[in-house]
Chains A and B, each alone.
Chain A
Amino acid sequence: MASRPIFKLHLPIVDDIKKKGLKTTLVETTDDVVSRMTAGLTVGDIRGVLRGDPAPKPNPRVKPHADGFWLHMRPTYFHNRVMSLYPTFRLGWLSVFFFVFEIITGLLLMVFYTPSPLVAYENMLNIMGNVPFGQFLRDLHKIGAEGMVVMVALHMLRTFVTGSYKKPRQFTWFTGMVLLMVTLFLSFSGYLLPWDQLSLWAVTIGASMVEAIPPQEVGAWVNLQVRGAPQFSENGLLRFYLLHVFALPLIGLIFTGVHYYKVIVHGHSLPPDAEQIGEDTARRVPVDKRSYFLPDVFTREMFLVFFWTTLMVFAVSVGNLFHAPLEPHANPLVTPLHTTAPWYFLWLQGMLKIGDKVLWGLVMPGVIFGFLFILPYFELGPSRRYIDRRVGLSVGALVVAVLSILTFMGTPFYGVETSAPQEVVAALAPQTHPGELRAMNPEVYPLIVGEWDTTEESIAKAEEISPQFGELLHLYASEIERYKSLDGVVGKLAVSEWQSELYRFDFTIDFVGADGNSATYEQIVFLHEKGNYGGH
């Protein structure tokens, strides 16, 4: 009686090798694996795609759209008219690209970060000084964040200009507005995390607006919810961290899904001149006007991935064009002179300078954003053609111009009044960035120990010792000249060696104050030879 085996090993590939030979078996098996992974494309199909062969019939390149998870989200073909740079400029796609880019770099940075004021800043020092590729990652995450804000804003502007928010795409626009808000707040909430002076004060400026909500009790309550305490501290940082890494990305992903679903359902909006007024033909793409996702759209997208990734990598590495700033540790007691909101909120800061905090900080932004949210529901003009939308486009251009002016007004160049001597010294040794004094080559320090001032003899003497130092005294003199109240005033600078490798710079300005009494402004700056502020 034959015993039944309790265990039997059977490798079908061995049978195949015996039957067909090694080479054929390997080719067939590879093909099989590849077509499972690509949900329908064999090695030969992929090579055909890459070579640019015309699609065979029946077209195997549509299979991944039907069977695969990732490509089932993408249309099988696009209309020829949306394949060129105009009208989309790829801005929507680039917004998603930057979002994904931020998620990847952000996840890696999360490994090295703890959201607590006790260690957050130390984490930055660790990332910068101890983690290989730490600065690189941090720079990429920051430049990607700026890129995402730019792309999302431009995408919205483009959608407005081509009238693509009109029926039937009103809700797509609405979800896009949600995504704009998510983008702005993602970037804004990320600002706080390094816990340096820049983050604390930039975010404080933004958060101070909620405090203005009337009545006062409500404002105070909302402020408490946002900051977690009357001032940013443990609770506030944790809240912003959770918003940044969890809540906002989640909302962003969900609304990206809804937004893109609507884009597919309605089809990519065609250039305004491609269809009759009042018509929307984007969903029905005639056979002769189809560009298939594989290979045309796919290679374009891959090209953009490589192009933008390489560009960003270049900017933060070899090109040395962009680095995420890191200022001194956050200090709730010291407000640096000239703190500003992040650049994309400067227009808000500009509005706040116009007048009332409630009107310009809450009502106006509320009206502007509210107006944008519901734009497609009341702007019902049927034509998307530019010639028929002169009023709307003019208003749009006007808004862009006003925002630019407001952005300028948000910078310290407009309407900030502090004491003149303080401004003069801040121009040389600012609190928010290294500035001219710190950019000076430290090798000069030992040579310039002594007393200096802004007279021409002193500057000439300084130039002989070091042109860079002469330049600095020159700047000192010209900064003093800028202020009427400092007419004829001589600025003094005493340099002394203070400790081993540490130098002390005493700025002294004797001037006549607004009350007619003479006054003295003094500021001491300590600089170490190895401060590594760069710029030399």
Chain B
Amino acid sequence: MTWRVIVSSLLALASIVMLAIVAVNEPARMKKFDEGYQARSIEAGAAIFHANCISCHGENGEGGIAPTLNRADLFDPNGRIKEVGWNGTVENFIYTTISGGRPLSFLTYQNNKMPTWSQEYGGPLRIDEVRNVTAYVMNYAKNWEVKEGEATPVPTIDAVGDSITESALPAGDPVRGEELVTKLGCLGCHQTAGGAGPAWFADQTANGEGIGTRAGNRFGEAGYTGAATTAEEYLRESIVQPNANVVNKEDGTPYIAGVMPQNYGTERLEAQDLADIIAYLLTLK
């Protein structure tokens, strides 16, 4: 019996020591858990973003038919939120925008209204999922952190310009072109029949002609208002001057002018990018 009393006492002592060790390590453990959870939240947000948002906002937040997310002024407290008169934090702004969507849109974004995403407002995502996406978008802020004494980083791009004849384009690579149209979110409008812009793919049109075939005919047709004389020029014009010639839908009614962003030539594409995209589009016969 005595050994039981002695061993029990030792065990009690061991338990107390272990509790003390836990107590000492608790602050560090809790911090690590929070950090880990925040990181996993970004991972989960990335997956949700990939499944739902890239057709408009670009595969990695480059923007497309919806605003660029990977940009400095979105995370600048004196930037975008000031412009729209938002009184809360950037994080709240992003969370609220994802949750409730955007009932109004700028013409640049072709009047495409951002849908509501949170289940609170009739969308598909739970609140925690909206938080995950917010964490993912907020992680772009790290790309734009301004260090003491440094100027705000600005993306440098040698834009190709909106002329279709001024400079010749280099040789295009259709494989890279395909990557680019995915990244830029072009497919958000041009993938299927009935989208906001003409469908590119042959199987989505009534007469079975892809954009590559149509580009070769369009500039010769009656009613063409642009200046292109070759298929390449026609595609280049459609990208850098989207309003030069607005085609009709298959039912005969015109697509709405000004829906496609006007800044691909002036701000977003370099000469090589444009050449690659045109090369890719020409493969879609």
**Cβ contacts B6-48/A at 8 Å (1 or 0 each):** 0110011011001101110010011011111111101110110
Of A309, A328, A499, A501, most B-chain CB atoms within 10 Å: A499
- In the complex, A112 has a CB within 8 A of chain B: no
Q: Do A317 and B18 have beta carbons less than 8 Å apart? A: yes
Q: A121-B128, A135-B29, A299-B4 are in contact. Are A529 and B37 (CB under 8 A)?
A: no
A136 pairs with B22, CB closer than 8 A = yes
Residue of B nearest to A49 (CB): B1
Residue on A with the closest CB to B14? A310
Chain B residues with CB under 8 A of A299: 1, 4-5, 8
The answer to whether B243 has its CB under 8 Å from any CB of chain A is no
Contact of A313 among B18, B29, B136 (CB under 8 A): B18
**Given contacts A306-B8, A524-B50, A129 and B30 within 8 Å (CB-CB):** yes
Kindly provide the distance from the CB of B189 to the nearest chain A CB, expressed in whole angstroms. 24
Inter-subunit contact A135/B39 (CB<8 Å)? no
Q: How many residues of A contact B (CB 8 A)?
A: 48
Looking at the assembled complex, report how far the CB atom of B176 sits from the nearest CB atom of chain A, in whole angstroms. 15
Chain B residues, Cβ within 8 Å of A526: 42-43, 46-47, 50
- Closest residue of A by beta carbon distance from B45: A526
**In the assembled complex, how far is the CB of residue B114 from the closest CB belonging to chain A, in whole angstroms?**
21
Please give the distance in Å from A330's CB to the nearest CB on chain B.
9
Instruction: Tell me the bound Cα distance from A302 to B29 in angstroms.
Output: 32
Residues of B within 8 A of A300 (CB): 4
Q: Taking A118-B127, A302-B8 as contacts, is the C-beta distance between A531 and B23 under 8 angstroms?
A: no
Q: In the complex, which of the residues B5, B15, B23, B42 contacts A528, with contact meaning CB atoms closer than 8 Å?
A: B42
Which residue from chain B places its CB closest to the CB of A305 in the assembled complex? B8
Given A310-B15, A314-B18, A526-B47: A129 in contact with B7 (beta carbons within 8 A): no
In the complex, the answer to whether B26 meets A318 with C-beta atoms within 8 Å is no
A528 near B40: Cβ-Cβ < 8 Å = yes
Whether B33 and A128, one on each chain, are in contact in the complex, defined by CB atoms closer than 8 angstroms, is: yes
Chain A positions within 8 Å of B142 at CB level: 499-501
Whether a CB of chain B sits under 8 angstroms from the CB of A498 is yes
Asked whether A527 lies within 8 Å of B7 as measured between CB atoms, the reply is: no
CB of B18 within 8 A of CB of A530, answer no
Residue of A nearest to B8 (CB): A306
Within 8 Å CB of A309, what residues of B?
A: 11, 15
A532 and B42 contacting across the interface, CB-CB below 8 Å: no
Give the contacting residue for A502; candidates B18, B127, B139; CB below 8 A: B139
Closest to B21 in A: A318
> What mask results when residues 125 to 163 of chain B are scored 1 for a CB within 8 Å of chain A, else 0?
011110000001001101100000000000000000000
Q: Main SS of the interface on chain B?
A: helix
- Taking CB atoms and an 8 Å cut-off, the chain A residues in 286-330 that contact chain B are 295-296, 299-300, 302-303, 305-307, 309-310, 313-314, 317-318, 328-329
B78 near A: Cβ within 8 Å?
Answer: no
Partner pick for A532 among B2, B5, B39, B47, CB 8 A cutoff: B39
* CB of B49 to closest CB in A, whole Å: 9
Docked CA distance A296–B5 (Å): 11
In the complex, A331 Cα to B21 Cα: how many Å? 36
- Complex Cα spacing A502 to B127, Å: 22
Count contacts between A and B, CB distance < 8 Å: 125
Q: Does B60 contact A (CB under 8 A)?
A: yes
Chain B residues closer than 8 Å to A306, beta-carbon distance: 7-8, 11-12, 15
B14 touches A528 (CB 8 A): no
User: CA A134 – CA B33 in complex, angstroms?
Assistant: 12
A30 in contact (CB, < 8 A): no
Using Cβ atoms and an 8 Å threshold, which residues of chain B touch A125? 37
CB nearest neighbor in A for B139: A499
Q: Mark B248-266, 1 if CB is under 8 A from A, else 0.
A: 0000000000000000000
Q: Is the CB of A499 within 8 A of B46?
A: yes
A498 touches B126 (CB 8 A): no
In the complex the two chains form, is B7's CB within 8 Å of A529's CB? no
Contact B15 A313 (CB under 8 A): yes
Is the pair A532, B33 in contact by a Cβ cutoff of 8 Å?
A: yes
Interface pair B50/A52, CB less than 8 Å apart: no
| Minimum C-beta distance from A430 to chain B (A) | 15
Chain A residues, Cβ within 8 Å of B43: 502, 526-528, 531
Q: Is the CB of B128 within 8 A of A329?
A: yes
A129's partner among B21, B33, B39 (CB-CB below 8 A) is B33
Chain B residues near A305: list those with CB within 8 A. Answer: 8
Instruction: Please give the distance in Å from A454's CB to the nearest CB on chain B.
Output: 23
Q: What distance in Å separates the Cβ of B122 from its nearest Cβ neighbour in chain A? A: 16
A266 within 8 A of B: no
Pairwise interchain contact B46-A310, C-beta atoms closer than 8 A? no
Q: 1/0 contact trace for A16-60 toward B, CB 8 Å?
A: 000000000000000000000000000000000011100000000
Q: From A316, which residue of chain B is reached at the shortest CB distance?
A: B22
Complex Cα distance, B25 from A136, in Å, reads 11
A504 within 8 A of B: yes
List residues of chain B with CB within 8 A of the CB of A89.
none
Query: Which of A122, A133, A328, A498 contacts B60 (CB under 8 A)?
Result: A498
Q: Report, nearest first, the 8 A-B pairs whose CB atoms are least far apart.
A: A532-B36, A500-B142, A528-B39, A526-B46, A530-B39, A306-B11, A306-B8, A303-B4
Known: A129-B37, A499-B139, A526-B50; 18 extra A-B contacts, CB below 8 A, are: A52-B2, A128-B30, A128-B37, A129-B33, A129-B34, A133-B22, A134-B30, A303-B8, A305-B8, A309-B15, A310-B12, A317-B18, A499-B142, A524-B47, A526-B43, A531-B36, A531-B39, A532-B33
- In the assembled complex, 9 residue pairs joining A and B whose CB atoms fall closer than 8 Å, in A order, are A122-B128, A129-B34, A130-B34, A132-B30, A133-B26, A310-B15, A498-B46, A500-B140, A502-B43
Q: Which residues of B contact A (CB under 8 A)?
A: 1-2, 4-5, 7-8, 11-12, 14-15, 18-19, 21-23, 26, 29-30, 32-40, 42-44, 46-47, 50, 60, 126-129, 136, 139-140, 142-143
